[in-house]
Amino acid sequence: MQGQTLRTRPRVYGSTFGPELSERQAMVLRALVSAYVERAAPVASQSLAQQLPIPLSSASIRNTLVELEESGLVEKSHASSGRVPTTLGIRTFIDHLLEPADLGSEDQRRLDRALEGADTTETPRLTAQVLSDQTRQLGFVVPPRVEQLPLRTLHLVPVGTGRVLAVLVAENGGVMQRIVAHEEKISRRELERIGRILAERVVGRTLVGLRQCLEAERERLRGEADDLLRRAWMLGLGACEGDVGEDLIIATRLALLGQPEFSDPERIRGLFSALETNQRLLELLREIARADRGAVRVGLSISLETELGEPALRDCALVAVAYGTPSSPGSLGVLGVIGPQRMDYGRVIPLVHYCSELVTRKLMV
């Protein structure tokens, strides 16, 4: 068997190929990662022998571990004679050796009940907490960009001389607020009439679509518009300016405190700080959503260590999937979990996928 070669499959969640492994190397690496995930400790060859589906001598296991170590897939622990998978070893396991099972019906019912009755504004935060509770990792949700969602209505509220608050409400219940400055004197009655004019043009359009509508109308009716319509264009286009940005909704941090990788208070403090302020992480999540726009099936992304672009996230893994409708630009958000690389991917992946399906169904109601 040692002479046979297992040509690893293309990355299931990526686009490159991993190293070629023999059947024996693949079997030992799979067993090593599984044991390490379960025990959170280096794995000795004697313990590894009990994990293998077929019996191998201790000498054969040690020789195979040496081969894996030379390939950079495992390393020897300094504190014991056991070995642990490297980041490359975990990546190879995920991309080529892992075969996640479908989520069981009991778990599906549990998730269904957890999100039952939640409205569109409650769903993101509740989903983040459900992911955290069910995976014992740190659940997160990035809601869809509100300014790219279809709008339901618009309200104009005077807030002082020369300033109007524009309140735009998306169909999913999300709210955008913009302060629009103006030089002309506008009475409250005129503002109400302008609000009705804009409300007629808002329904079903995104913020981008509303801007295009107003600009096209202004160009078409240039020289023919009365003062009220001209003011409506001015306030409406002012309400379309700017970028709302995105929020990274993170569940209660208690889920990670039980993980041995985060027993150091300084490390956990640095991790939480990075999650709250790290724009690189948000950009990575945006890339995941953008990659799935127009796709037939929303896919999964797994990022490890340096791929996360933040030193405080070293030895961490991120499992994320876009949710929403890929055919509708701007309707996608991202959800998933962050935790140590020593993660039970076989359970986490189907949980994250099912949550994305649940949230998508709620958005489409």
Higher per-residue confidence, 303 vs 352: 352
For all residues of the chain together, what is the average pLDDT? 80
pLDDT-based confidence at residue 295 (cuts at 50, 70, 90): very low
**Is a pLDDT exceeding 60 seen at residue 7?**
no
Q: Convert the pLDDT of each residue in 343-358 to its tens digit.
A: 999 999 999 999 999 9
Position 259 confidence tier, pLDDT thresholds 50, 70, 90:
confident
Residue 244 confidence (pLDDT): 53
Q: What is the pLDDT of residues 175-211, one digit of tens each?
A: 778 889 888 888 889 999 999 999 999 988 888 889 8
Q: How confident is the model at residue 301 (pLDDT cuts 50, 70, 90)?
A: confident
Per-residue pLDDT band at 225 (split at 50, 70, 90): confident
Query: In whole angstroms, how far apart are CA 135 and each of 258, 321, 351?
Result: 12, 15, 8
Task: Answer yes or no: is pLDDT of 83 > 60.
Answer: yes
How much of the chain, in percent, has pLDDT values that exceed 90? Answer: 27
For 270-292, how does the pLDDT look when each residue is reduced to its tens digit (9 = 90+)? 777 777 666 667 777 777 766 65
